[in-house]
Amino acid sequence: MIEGMSLIYQYDFGDNWEHEIIIEKITEAEEGIHYPVCMDGERHRPPEDVGGIGGYENFLEAINDPNHPEYDDMLVWAEKDTGGRKFDPEYFYINEVNRALMKIK
């Protein structure tokens, strides 16, 4: 890999989400650090099996309107991906990501 290189990561094969990952900087590995490690990021990923872009748009519409008939059901359904928190599309917590990456052998 070289700096500036981009990769495509496909997430949730049924919904076919594609994410472009750009290698912005390559650093030397440090002793005592578990790799891989996330250096930065933003926003929460869409819930698994939300139904692609259109399904995600419908999901966001429902959870942002307490009067929507699917409001409660969608929030409860999304808890499988949030660990019990209310889904927030802007949520990103790097320590949570790195705890998940620590499980990679």
- Does residue 93 sit within a domain? yes
- Does residue 21 sit within a domain? no
User: Which CA distances in Å does 25 have to 49, 83, 95?
Assistant: 32, 31, 20
Q: What is the pLDDT of residue 73?
A: 95
Q: Once rounded to an integer, what is the mean pLDDT over residues 47-75?
A: 94
Domain count for the chain: 1
Give CA–CA dist 98/101, Å, rounded. 5
- Model-level pTM? 0.74
- Does residue 26 sit within a domain? no
- Does residue 6 sit within a domain? no
Residue 26 pLDDT more than 90?
no
Q: What's the domain range around 56?
A: 32-102
- In sign, the C-alpha dihedral spanning 71, 82, 22, 49 is negative
pLDDT digits (tens, 9 = 90+) for 2-11: 999 999 988 7
Q: Once rounded to an integer, what is the mean pLDDT over residues 47-70?
A: 94
What is the CATH classification number for the domain harbouring 40? 3.10.290.30
Q: Considering only CA atoms, which of 72, 74, 78 is closest in space to residue 91?
A: 78
Give CA–CA dist 78/63, Å, rounded. 10
